[in-house]
Amino acid sequence: MSCIGTAGHVDHGKSTLVKALTGIDPDRLTEEKERGMTIDLGFAWLTLPGGREVSLVDVPGHESFIKNMLAGVGGIDAALLVIAADEGIMPQTREHLAILDLLRVSRGVVALTKVDLVDEEWLNLVREEVAKYLKPTTLAEAPIVPVSAYTGQGLLELLSALDDLLQHVSAQKNIARPRLPVDRVFSLAGFGTIVTGTLLDGVLKVGLDVEVLPQGLKTRIRGIQTHKQQVASSQPGSRVALNLANVARSDLVRGNVVALPGQLHTTMLLDARLQVLAEATNPLTHNTFVDFYSGSQEISAQVRLLESDEVQPGQSAWVQLRLQKPAVVTRRDRFIIRIPSPSLTIGGGEVVDISPRYHRRRQKPIIESLERLMHGTPEEFILAALDRRQVVKWTGSAKTPHGLVGYTLEEVVKQSNLAHDVTQQTLETLLSEGRVCKVGVFWFTQAAWDTLADEALRLVQDWHQLYPLRSGLSKEEWRTRLHLTPKLAAEVFSVLQATGKLEQIEAAPIVPGSGQMRSGGLIRIPGFQAQFTAAQQQQVTRLLELFQASPYVPPVLSEADAVAGSEVVNALLEQGTLVKLGDGILFLRVTYTEALARLVAFLQENGKITAAEARDVLGTTRKYIVPLLEHMDMLHITRRSGDERTLVHH
C-alpha cells in the first residue's frame, strides 16, 4: 500500500480534486465546510486502475496552517502537487514544493486544476512555467496533467499517471521497528481513544503491547483499521487507525509516536546535515532558535553551527540541534526548520546521529566523523552502531571502560537503520574480515571486544595482586565492575574460559552435606594459587601452634585475627585448614573431624547425649560445645529433644 500527499496553494482545489477522485470529502471540520477552506489534515483513499490501493493525505494550503501541512507529509511515498491553471505558481506553491524538496520526496504528479476556466494558450504558458520551476527540485520529472474536478476532464489521465508513478515505488522497508507518528487523536463511544498516522519501518498487530512516546505511556492495541476496514495487522506505508486500550484521549497529542516497548528512545540533542533554502532572505546564524518539524512533531530548537558562524541561503552545513523537549527520531529521518517570527520555512535536512555527545565547534575530527555517518557504506553504519557506547567512566584516579557492550542482531538492525537481511550479510562479511566479533548472540567491533576481554582479565589479575591470599574474584562482582548484563557476562566468561584465560572455582562444601560452601562462584587466572609470604607463614605457624596446643578450647575468630590478621585467617578457612562454626568459633579441620567422630561414637554406645556429657567427652567448655552440637543438628547427624540429642538414622 502507498500513501500520497497533496500540496499546493490555498484555494487551488486540492480538497475538491481529492473528493472528485475518491468520492470522499477530506474536510472533516464544520469550520472547513463553512469557510470552504481546508484547515487541518484530511484523509481519503482509492483503488487505482492497476488495482493498487492508495491513501491520500490532504493538507491545508493556507500559510497560517503550514504546521498542519508538515504533520501530514512526513510518511508519503509520492506527492500530488496541485496548481490552479488560472493562477499558476503562488507563494504556498513555492513553500510546499520547497518542503517536498527538502524532504526528498522524489515522486510526484502535478495536477493543473481548473483548466475549464482557461484557454489552451494560457494553459500551455502555465505548463511551461511549472515545468521550468520544477527543474531544480526532486519533482523535476513529474508529469503535468491538466484536470477539472467540475467537468471531469483529465481525471482518468491523472489516475493513470498516479498508477504509473507508483508502479516504480519500492515497498516501504520493514526493519522490525514499527513506529506510528500520530497526526490525529480522537475518541469514539464504545471504543475509547483512537490515533491515526502513516505506519513506518515495521508491522503492528492487534493485541500487541505498545508505548506512546515521548511520555512512555504503556498501552495495548485493541483494534486496527485501514480505510475504515478492520485488519489484524498493518504494513509499513499504510494509513492506520489504532484503537488503544487504557489510555485517555487527553493524554495524547499530535506529534506522539506509537512504538513497541523499548525500541525507540527520545532525544534532545541530534546531529544533522542542514540545507538552507536558496530563497531564504537571510543567512542562518549560530544559535538561532527555530521550529523543528519531523514526522508529526513540532519542537522548538536551537541550531548550533559546527563549522562557521552563519550559513548563506542555498548552502548546507553540519549542525547540532538542541531541542527544547524530547523528540522521537531515527537516523536518516528528514526534517524541516522554520523561523517562528515571521513564520517562514528556511531549510531542512537529514538526521545523522540521534544520540551524539555535545560537540565543540570547528573540530575537524567531528566533521569527518559526521561525513562518514552521512555517506557511509552499510559496513560503516554497522560499525558505527556497534561503537555507540564506547565511553569512559572515571572512577577515582583510574578509568575503566563503561558500556563496552555487545548488540544482538535485532539491536544492530535498529541502530543501523538497515534491512534485516542486509545487516545479517554485512555482519557476516565483517566477521570474516576480522573487523567484528560474535560472542554468543552478541556482536562487538573487534576493537571493543579486545578492550573488554583485556579489562575482564585485568580485573581478575588486579584482584589477585590486591588479595593474594584469596582464591579468586566473585563472579558477580566481576560482572558488576564490567557493567555487563547477566546474559552478556555469561557469554563473555564462556569465551574467556574456553580460550583458557579464566577459570571458575567450583563451589565445594566445607563438609559433606553442609550448607556452608567454600570457594563458590569465584573466578581466577588459570594456575593461580594463594601463597603466604614468609612473614605470613610465620603467623600461620604461630596460630596453628595455638590451635594444636589447645585443640578443643582454641582461639576464637577475633583472637585468631589478632594473631595472624583477617586475610590470613580467611585464607586458612578458604583452604579448609580451619573450620568456622556459628558466629566465631574456630577449630582445626582435623580437630573438627575428630570431635564429630568421638561424639557419634558416644551416641552409638549410649543412645543419647546431653550438652554437659558432650563437653566432658571432648574436654571443652559450653562456649565451644553448643555451636558444635547445633552444627551436628544442622547436618542431620543428631536430632535434639529438650536437653538431649539422639542419632539420626539414615
- Cis ω for the linkage preceding 143 (within 30 of 0): no
pLDDT in tens, 403-453: 578 899 988 887 777 777 788 889 998 998 888 999 999 999 888 898 899
Ranking 95-104, 254-263, 523-532, 617-626 by mean pLDDT, the lowest is 523-532
Fill in the amino acid letter for 319: V
- What's the residue count for the chain? 650
DSSP structural state of residue 169: P
As a whole number of angstroms, the distance between CA 58 and CA 38 comes to: 8
504-519 confidence digits (pLDDT tens): 886 544 444 444 444 4
pLDDT tens column, 158-170: 999 999 988 877 7
Rounded to the nearest 10 degrees, what angle do helices 557-564 and 534-549 cross at?
140
Q: Tell me: the pLDDT tens digits for 105-151?
A: 889 999 999 999 999 999 999 999 999 999 999 999 999 999 999 99
pLDDT grade for 61, boundaries at 50, 70 and 90 = low
For the chain, what is the mean pLDDT? Answer: 87
Contacts of 117 (CB under 8 A, 6+ apart): 85, 86
pLDDT of residue 64: 64
Q: What is the reported pLDDT for 173?
A: 76
CB 542 within 8 A of CB 549: no
How does strand 53-58 pair with strand 2-7?
parallel
pLDDT at 393 over 60: no
Q: How many CB atoms lie within 10 A of CB 416?
A: 25
Q: Residue 401: is its pLDDT beyond 80?
A: no
Contact partners, residue 346, CB within 8 Å, separation at least 6: 276, 277, 280, 284, 290, 337, 338, 339
pLDDT of residue 510: 47
Would the pLDDT of 397 be above 50?
no
User: How many helices (H) and strands (E) are present in the chain, helices listed first?
Assistant: 19, 38
Radius of gyration of the CA atoms of the chain, in A: 37
The string of pLDDT tens digits covering residues 334-375 is 999 999 888 899 999 999 988 888 999 999 988 988 888 788
Q: Go through 251-284 and write b for each residue having 16 or more CB atoms within 10 A of its CB, e for each that does not.
A: ebebbbbbbbeebbebbebbbbbbbbbeebeeeb
**Residue spans of beta strands (DSSP E) within 11-159:** 42-47, 53-58, 78-84, 108-113, 144-146
